[in-house]
Amino acid sequence: MTKRKASLALVAVLASGCIATPPTNSQINTAVRERVVNQPPANASPAPTAAPATNAAENFVVNSVAVGQNALLANNLGWTFGGKSQRGWRLYTLLINRMINTEENINTNRFAAALARWQQGAGLAPSGVLDGDTLYGMISVWQSRRIKDRIYPHPRQLITAPASEFYDPTREVELRQVEREAYNAYKRMLAAAIADKSLGLQTTANNELAASEKRLKIISSFRSREYQERLRRLSPGAGRAGLAVNSPHFTGRALDLYVGGDPVETVDWNRAIQVKTSVYKWLVKNAERFGFHPYYYEPWHWEYIPQEVK
Ligand SMILES: [Zn+2]
């Protein structure tokens, strides 16, 4: 593989959801990436002989300095996303907890111990400190669980979802298309969220989301290359300038769902609101059961990957 091809392949794997700013090659230690990608997902059933994760995690004796380091790095770790400086990893705490199979607070020894166990499995030094290498390793794992192709669905595979299921019910009919399997999975997931009374979703008599309820409604689904190009031309300004050239929305299996805050705004303060909402927390815990995987950088962006191709 030529260097250019290799770099394109990496970009294809890492290509983002709504914005196109993957980390560069130099930011990803390929060896780390390969090791961590081969780890089973956090929710995979443990082998019958394996000790429960929490017990195994307790076997790690983590230097108490690690706890203080994590508290600092959660807010201050410098890293880059597509050439843009980022600060800290606190926005990804829920996803990190899921990855390392713990619900412990980041300021605890147990969190550091669970992290050390994950680091060891990923071939990293089991320091219990969530440093840059560890974060990039986790990002590689998250990115490996996303839609790889950018192939348009056959028109027969696209359905038009009702306007009432969209965050903006006036959205044009051609922008309400969703790949059929992804739509069915979304509806199953939505029914489960509605049944979970702790979310308090407002519903109609038919148990659909009420007009007044915006949460978990679809913001954006299938987008054609032509539409994406138009969006890019219309929004040359900061933030939107990075709209993906090669979006997973082309497949009709990527859904932007309303989780709170400003619907699709990546600034940290907005994402900080979004990752604290009950529906986002619910999605992190439950979406995978329905075949939906997160895009770590955009709390609203979820990608459907049929169970059989995982
Ligand atoms: Zn998206």
Q: What does residue 67 show for φ and ψ, rounded to 5 degrees?
A: -65, -45
Q: How many CB atoms are located within 10 Å of the residue 307 CB?
A: 10
Instruction: Kindly give the distance from the C-alpha atom of residue 220 to the centroid of ligand 1, in angstroms, as a whole number.
Output: 7
* Residues spanned by the domain of 122: 3-144
Instruction: Kindly give the distance from the C-alpha atom of residue 29 to the centroid of ligand 1, in angstroms, as a whole number.
Output: 26
Question: What does the alpha-carbon distance between residue 77 and residue 132 come to, in Å, rounded to a whole number?
Answer: 7
Instruction: Kindly give the distance from the C-alpha atom of residue 304 to the centroid of ligand 1, in angstroms, as a whole number.
Output: 12
3-state secondary structure at position 94: helix
Q: Is residue 263 part of a domain?
A: yes
**Residue 242: its pLDDT value, please?**
56
Q: What is the dihedral of CA 23, 29, 32, 38, to 10 degrees?
A: 50
- One domain for residues 92 and 190: no
Instruction: Kindly give the distance from the C-alpha atom of residue 158 to the centroid of ligand 1, in angstroms, as a whole number.
Output: 17
- One domain for residues 276 and 184: yes
Q: Is residue 150 part of a domain?
A: no
- One domain for residues 134 and 180: no
- One domain for residues 279 and 223: yes
Instruction: Kindly give the distance from the C-alpha atom of residue 167 to the centroid of ligand 1, in angstroms, as a whole number.
Output: 14
3-state secondary structure at position 277: coil
**Residue 245: its pLDDT value, please?**
75
- One domain for residues 34 and 180: no
- One domain for residues 266 and 159: yes
Instruction: Kindly give the distance from the C-alpha atom of residue 225 to the centroid of ligand 1, in angstroms, as a whole number.
Output: 14
Residue 198, token pair as written in the block: 């702790």
Cα–Cα–Cα angle for 33, 35, 36, nearest 5°?
A: 65
Q: Which amino acid is at 294?
A: P
Instruction: Kindly give the distance from the C-alpha atom of residue 256 to the centroid of ligand 1, in angstroms, as a whole number.
Output: 5
**Residue 103: its pLDDT value, please?**
97
Instruction: Kindly give the distance from the C-alpha atom of residue 116 to the centroid of ligand 1, in angstroms, as a whole number.
Output: 32
Pair 73, 89: CB distance under 8 Å: yes
Instruction: Kindly give the distance from the C-alpha atom of residue 78 to the centroid of ligand 1, in angstroms, as a whole number.
Output: 25
In tens digits, what is the pLDDT along the chain, a chain of 310 residues? 444 444 433 333 344 455 444 444 344 444 444 444 444 444 444 434 433 444 444 566 777 899 999 999 999 999 999 899 999 999 999 999 999 999 999 999 999 999 999 999 999 999 999 999 999 999 999 999 999 999 999 999 999 999 999 999 999 999 999 999 999 999 999 999 999 999 999 999 999 999 999 999 999 999 988 888 888 888 765 444 456 778 999 999 999 999 999 999 999 999 999 999 999 999 999 999 999 999 999 999 999 998 755 4
Residue 200, token pair as written in the block: 């308090």
Pair 114, 102: CB distance under 8 Å: yes
**Residue 18: its pLDDT value, please?**
53
**Residue 230: its pLDDT value, please?**
84
**How many CA atoms within 13 Å lie on the side-chain side of 50?**
10
- One domain for residues 140 and 47: yes
Question: What does the alpha-carbon distance between residue 277 and residue 272 come to, in Å, rounded to a whole number?
Answer: 9
Distances (CA, A) of 181 to 26, 79, 158, 245: 37, 36, 9, 24
**Residue 10: its pLDDT value, please?**
38
- One domain for residues 88 and 190: no
| pTM summary value | 0.81
Question: What does the alpha-carbon distance between residue 171 and residue 62 come to, in Å, rounded to a whole number?
Answer: 52
Instruction: Kindly give the distance from the C-alpha atom of residue 253 to the centroid of ligand 1, in angstroms, as a whole number.
Output: 10
**Residue 54: its pLDDT value, please?**
46
Ligand 1 is an ion; its neighbours by CB within 5 Å are 17-18, 256, 301
Question: What does the alpha-carbon distance between residue 131 and residue 267 come to, in Å, rounded to a whole number?
Answer: 22
Instruction: Kindly give the distance from the C-alpha atom of residue 254 to the centroid of ligand 1, in angstroms, as a whole number.
Output: 6
Instruction: Kindly give the distance from the C-alpha atom of residue 303 to the centroid of ligand 1, in angstroms, as a whole number.
Output: 8
Instruction: Kindly give the distance from the C-alpha atom of residue 26 to the centroid of ligand 1, in angstroms, as a whole number.
Output: 26
Instruction: Kindly give the distance from the C-alpha atom of residue 38 to the centroid of ligand 1, in angstroms, as a whole number.
Output: 26
Domain count for the chain, please give it.
Answer: 2
Q: Is residue 149 part of a domain?
A: no
- One domain for residues 126 and 260: no
**Long-range pairs of 19-22 with CB within 8 A, sequence gap ≥ 24:** 19/82, 19/239, 19/242, 19/243, 19/244, 19/266, 19/297, 19/298, 20/82, 20/242, 20/243, 20/244, 20/245, 20/246, 20/247, 21/81, 21/82, 21/83, 21/84, 21/242, 22/82, 22/143
**Residue 237: its pLDDT value, please?**
59
* Enclosing H/E stretch for 281: helix 278-286
Entry field: residues in the chain? 310
- One domain for residues 203 and 181: yes
